[in-house]
Structure 1
Amino acid sequence: MNCNVSRDLHCFTMTASFVPVGPYKSYNFHIAVKSSLLQDLKYDKRSSYSNGITWY
């Protein structure tokens, strides 16, 4: 099972996805500025089965 959410937040874009069950539980979160001048301003957070982080 995969869950994905994507939103246009006027000046920002946000994308989140996660796998809530099973041996490959993980999540990804990304938020970034839409402006081409500030395209390097972004935040990424991710977890995955391979790095052993439990998030719930």
Structure 2
Amino acid sequence: MAGDEKAQAKTEQAKGKLKETVGRAVGNERMTAEGRMEQSKGDARQAKEKAKDALRD
């Protein structure tokens, strides 16, 4: 389960980065903001998983 969550976090981060980059390239501020938001969600998910891992050890 934890590996699944970590993979999902990485996917959200990558998807967000791509969306942000495309948004900047085409000048779409909304897409850029959505990309940043997805990256933040991925970062938060990753931090949560790291905290869980730290508590397990």
| Shared fold per TM-score greater than 0.5 | no
Greater helix share, 1 or 2? 2
Structure 1 length normalisation: TM-score?
0.24
Q: Which has the higher contact order (CA 8 A, sep 6+)?
A: 2
Structure 2 length normalisation: TM-score?
0.24
